[in-house]
Each structure stands twice: as C-alpha cells, then as structure tokens.
Structure 1
Amino acid sequence: MSSDTSSGGDSTGSKVGVGGGGSTSVPPPLKEKQKEKEKARVSRTSSILWHAHQNDAGAVRKLLEEDRTLVHARDYDNRTPLHVASLHGWIEVAKCLIDYGADVNAQDRWKNTPLADAEGAKKHSMIELLKSYGGLSYGQNGSHFEPKPVPPPQPNKCDWEIDPSELDFSTSAMIGKGSFGEILKACWRGTPVAVKRILPSLSDDRLVIQDFRHEVNLLVKLRHPNIVQFLGAVTEKKPLMLITEYLRGGDLHQYLKEKGSLSPSTSINFALDIARGMAYLHNEPNVIIHRDLKPRNVLLVNSSADHLKVGDFGLSKLIKVQNTHDVYKMTGETGSYRYMAPEVFKHRRYDKKVDVFSFAMILYEMLEGDPPLANLEPYEAAKYVSEGNRPTFRSKGYIPELRELTEQCWAHDMNQRPPFLDILKRLEKIKENLPTDHHWNIFNT
C-alpha cells in the first residue's frame, strides 16, 4: 500500500479534532473510509493494467473517463499501462493512454521506458508512434542505456562451455518448437543429448539473450535425480544453444494422451517423482519457483516410464528467502493457463505455492486421463479457476486420501496449500495403504 494513506492522505484528516483539544487524530469511521478508498484504488489500478494487457481500448477509455489519474497507475514493478501496451504492440490502447496524458518516458523498476520495451519486443509500429510523441529509449532494453546487445554469460571461460563443432546434428530429430527456438535431439561426444537452440534471427535480441542467460545460470546450479541434468551451453558463438541430457520416454503430456487415465499406483509413483524434484527446487533459502509446471515439462526417463524428471526452467525464478512467509512481486500470467494458480492469473503477489497448485492439476490429469477443464479453452479455464471453481472428480481412482490431498494442493488460499516435503510424506503414506494394482483393473477396462 502507498505510504500516503497512513498519514491521512485525505486533506480532511487533519481538520477533524476530538474533544476540541486541537488533536489531529483520525476517528475510526474516517480510517475505515480511507481503507475502502485505498482498496478501490488498488482494484482500479489492477483493472486498467489488465485491460491494457488484454488490448481492450474501450475498457481502458471507460476507466480513464471515470478517473483520469489511472493513466499513471503502476504495478509492483513500477510499470504503467503504457509499458504494458508498448510491450505487446497494442496501438489503439497506447493512443488512448497518450490522449489521456500518459507519460511516454515513464520508467519502470528496471529504468525501461515504454519505447525501450517496444524496441525489445520489436514492435515497429509502436516504436514509430512513441517516437512521434517524444518517446526516448532508456533502460536495460533501451538504446540510450545499452547501445550493444547484452553479451551471453561467459563467467571465466566456464568448463561447461561447449564448442558447437562437438555437436553432431547429422541424425537430429525435432523434439519441440517454440517462438524463440527449437529443441533437437543431437549427439555430443557420442552421447544422445537434447539441444535447445535459439533461432538465429533472435540471437541479437536483448530480451531473448537475457532469458537464455537466466536459464543457463539457473541450470548450472541444479543437481538432483528428478531434475533434467544440464550438460553445457554454447554462449560464445551463434546460434546460442543449451544442452541437457536426452530422456527417451518423451514428456508426460504425450504419455497421458496415449495411455489415458493411469492407475492410482502409477499416478502416485509419478507424483512422488515430481514432488521430489519440486521439494529440491523449493528448498530454502535459495528457492527456485518453476512457474510453468505442466505435463509437457515433466519428462520420462525411458519408455518403461519408471522414472520422471522436471525440466524446462525458462520461466523459473531464483529467489533468496529472508522469511518463510515471504511473497514476491513477480510477473502475473506467467506460465500455461490451464495449470495456472489463480493468484498468478489475477496478477496478485505470489510465492512458491503456485507450483503446488500446478502439481494438483497434473495429479488430477493423471487420474482422470483428460487435462483439467478440457471442455474450456486454456484462458477460459484459468479464468474459471480464478473465480473459485475447480475441475470435477469423476475417476474411481480418486481414493479419499488422494482427493483430499489434491483439494488441499489447489486451495484458493495459497497459505492452505501444503509444501512439497509434506506432500511427499502424505503420498508415501497413501502408497503404503494402497491395494495392489489388480484391485483397480475393473475401473480401467
């Protein structure tokens, strides 16, 4: 909350005395009014940032007609609605904001101006528009701050730096593709590996390089049997590449697509592997929040599917925890909508418990055989969940203890969700008391 409210930011606060003694204390009813006023202000701030993100110029204009000061609204990272519109290239929204007096050179937490964001995202029409209104390019992404692209990580000639000539792509196969690059199966020193290769056209893009550097620096630190193992990276030549172990079993998304619902026994074994990896990532004080835990990012070691590993740390955040109950100001709507915690969708403060929510959705999918809320589009599913709704249990595989655990893991209040160390203990206990698989065959035929 902003500090001005605590000192009676409303000018009437200093005029109200008690008992005629010249006291300037604020009576309770007025304090309550101020609290309500502050609540409403925070709500309107969230609304305009949200509608700017959604490219809804009409809704933005309506909010500004009601309160012109919202044009200067700021989120946790000090970003204005114009920053949001500029990053996405929403021209009509930007024009509306500028019409209402938006500061074209406002700077966010990283000192980036809206023009710097538009340049970083290569939104050419937006760049022209902002420049025509006197926009300057300052900040980490801006040309005035940093004329050259950010160099990729090169800490003292790392022992994990791989010469691209050592990578054999002669029998390579595509494993996955994204907007920034592709993942290929290749061979490194005679060993099959997975190579995440940044598209050559993006090798000079500041934001892409920044994300690449972040993922490399994160992966270097990770060592655990349930985490995909980092082997090295190409950072000194283009295209930039990130090399990890190759897991023959493919991902859990594909596996569930082929197999459908899994038996409780298999689901629990899979859940234990995921929870082990996540308990390692969430270990304090250096907590890593995955932020995109979903079946596509859970990999099977082999075709027997007897061991799982958590992978893809492109959206993860490494947080130094000072206090067990710390919550963080991080980007909202990060990750995949269908598995997204409500607090992320709503752009609220959140902590490592967002991964616990995603874990519950994966557990649900393993037992049901279908993605959560499969009848809804991913965005609609996230919206439905953010309104307090949850998927319906249909599978007979949901023994009471497993259902109770799932419900606690997707609790609306993130403080009610158990940590992964507790989840592990409970899964082990459920596994001990589980009847042998043949008892469940009648439900899977």
Structure 2
Amino acid sequence: MSVRLGSGGFGSVYKGELENGTIVAVKELKIKDIHEHEKEVVPVFEAFHHEVVLMSQLNHPNIVKLLGIIQNTTKFVMEFVTCGVLSDRLYDEKQEDLPMDIKKKILVDVANGMNYLHSQNPPIVHRDLRSFNIFISSYEADRLVAKVGDFGLSFPCPTELQDVMPTWQWLAPECIDGFSTYNEKSDLYSFGVVIYEMMSRQMPFTDKEEFITKIEEILSPEQLLNEAFLKQLEGSGFRLMDGKAVREEFQTQTIKTEIVSNGLRPTVDPSWPPLIQSLLNDCWSASPDSRPSWTEILDRLS
C-alpha cells in the first residue's frame, strides 16, 4: 500500500498493487485507533465484517467491486476507480463545471447502481448516498463509468435502524432525527440531493445563511507565521480570511426542524434545465410515496 486515498470512522483507504501489477484500493481497519476506543471494538469489527459480507454479494458495473480480503488482517481489497470520488471534482474551485451530458451520464450510472441494490432480495438500502461515495472512472464521455461505493452503513430492507446519521444534509425528512426506519424511498431523497450537488457545486444548505453562524478568531502575527498552527486550524474546519480564522457552523437543530416541519430544501436555480428541476423536486418530496422509482428516473434521464 502506498498513497492514502481517504479516511473516515475507524478506517482508511489506500492505493495498492497486486503481484500481477493490478492497481487496487485497500480498506484497512485501524487497530491503533480502536485501542483508544475499547468500548467500540466489537461494533466496529461487526461493521467491518458486515461491509465485507454485503459487498461480496454484489456484482454490477455501477457498484464498486470487492476483490477479496487479506487473510489474518483487517483489510479488504476493492477495485481501484481512477478519478476517485465525485465530490473531489465538484468542490474543487479550480476545476471547470462538468458539461450537462456528463452530469446526466453520471446520474444514469448512479441510478442504475441504486436500482440494482434495491432489486436485491431483500432490497439493500445504501443510507449514505452522496457525492463523497460516488466513484468516477474518467470524466471523458466515452470512458466514464460512475460507481456507488462505501457500504459501511448499508443494510437489507426492511431494517429497524432508526439511528441519527451525521450527514443530515442528505437525509430524507422522515429519517433526519431517527423518527422513522430507512427504506428505498430514503435513498431516492438522497439521490435528489446528489443532483443538487452536481448542479450547484455547493454543499447542501450552505446557501441558507440565516441558519449559519460565523465564528471568527483574530490571529496574531506569530500565529499567522506558524504553519503547524495554521494546519491545525484548517483541520478543525477554519479557513484563513483577512488575518482571521473563520468557520461557519450550521444551527443544526433549527435547520433540521425547518427541513422536517416546513419543507426547507436547498435553493434550485431557475436556470437549470426543467428536467433537472422537476426531478429534484420529485426526489426530495416530503411524501416518500411521491418520490419516483429508479425506473421512472432512468426513463426521464434517457
């Protein structure tokens, strides 16, 4: 293993190479981290085992493929997807916006992958569909394949899970505070938020300034010259602006209430294609039964 591709929870993903020269992605459970959270050892190992077992049952061109496990370790091997996650491209201000035909191709691939998950017996609910878990092979039209990945939170449906997820910006209103169980309709709502991400290139709800608190800290000249200190600030979510460390925080409970009770959604730009606007509004309908099926979504995108 060499380059770290990403990390989260108790694990990291690295770029690796097999003996035959095949480039792969290796997910490793961090034992060192677990020792600092001994009470969580069993559930973390169970989650790791759960993800491996679930991925071993999946085989579809729009799903990241499990290649195997490394015996006597806490590592498993997946196919390497060349361009990484979609969020890296969307939120990189140096990159140009994607052409509409590329956006539609990505959405079609994701819809196909999700349709496959929901067609299993029993259906598999992803529960964490967002641009950070969509992997892209290439951004050239003739080579582009989008794949849904990261199944650590996925479960067969029906599931009794009613846990509160930290990624509430992508959650369906009925699941946002753990009041309802997750099902296929929850993923359809998240797909609508992914459409918003692709069109706006903004994190969901960051346009709602009335629900955001800005925290500012004036830095001394010594602090401004201290690279280690500045890196630590950046890791805590601050950015440097006019000699100040600035961080914006959601008024989380207030905005959650607005989403659930008053139908608050990210702002749709009226200049977006009518097809996209209507699909967005249908996917993030407050009524789960009003959300379109994957078959209908694919028909509308074709």
Letter in 2 for 1:365: E
Aligned to 2:91: 257
> How far apart are residue 284 of structure 1 and its match?
4.6
Aligned to 2:298: 424
> How far apart are residue 357 of structure 1 and its match?
0.6
Does 1:392 find its partner at 2:226?
no
Aligned to 2:228: none
The verdict on how the C-alpha distance between 1:395 and 1:370 changes in structure 2, with shifts beyond 3 A counting, is farther
Aligned to 1:237: 72
Aligned to 1:351: 183
The verdict on how the C-alpha distance between 1:382 and 1:245 changes in structure 2, with shifts beyond 3 A counting, is farther
Does 1:184 find its partner at 2:14?
yes
Aligned to 2:240: none
> How far apart are residue 389 of structure 1 and its match?
0.8
RMSD of Structure 2 on Structure 1 (CA) = 2.0
Show CA shifts across 1:152-209 (max 9, x none): xxxxxxxxxxxxxxxxx2xx10111123011111112221111110112338811111
TM-score (norm 1): 0.53
Matches within 5 A, 1:63-74: none
Letter in 2 for 1:273: D
Show CA shifts across 1:52-74 (max 9, x none): xxxxxxxxxxxxxxxxxxxxxxx
Name which of 121, 140, 152 aligns with 1:314.
Answer: 152
How high is the sequence identity, in percent, across the aligned residues? 32
The verdict on how the C-alpha distance between 1:416 and 1:335 changes in structure 2, with shifts beyond 3 A counting, is farther
Show CA shifts across 1:252-273 (max 9, x none): 0011012364333222111101
Matches within 5 A, 1:7-406: 169=1, 172-189=2-19, 190-201=21-32, 202=34, 205-234=41-70, 236-238=71-73, 240-258=74-92, 259=95, 261-302=97-138, 304=140, 306-319=144-157, 328-334=159-165, 336-347=167-178, 348-375=180-207, 376=212, 377=249, 379=252, 382-387=256-261, 388-394=263-269, 396=271, 398-406=272-280
Show CA shifts across 1:31-67 (max 9, x none): xxxxxxxxxxxxxxxxxxxxxxxxxxxxxxxxxxxxx
TM-score (norm 2): 0.76
Higher-Rg structure is 1
Show CA shifts across 1:112-152 (max 9, x none): xxxxxxxxxxxxxxxxxxxxxxxxxxxxxxxxxxxxxxxxx
Question: How many matched pairs?
Answer: 248
**d(CA) in 2 for partners of 1:382 and 1:173?**
37
**d(CA) in 2 for partners of 1:300 and 1:383?**
34
Structure 2 gaps of 5+ residues are: 213-248
Q: Which runs of 4+ in 1 moved over 6 A?
A: none
**d(CA) in 2 for partners of 1:291 and 1:243?**
22
- 8 Å CA contact 1:368–1:395 kept in 2: the answer is no
> How far apart are residue 395 of structure 1 and its match?
5.7
Secondary structure class of the residue paired with 1:392: coil
The verdict on how the C-alpha distance between 1:290 and 1:193 changes in structure 2, with shifts beyond 3 A counting, is same
> How far apart are residue 313 of structure 1 and its match?
0.2
> How far apart are residue 329 of structure 1 and its match?
2.5
Structure 1 gaps of 5+ residues are: 1-168, 320-326, 429-445
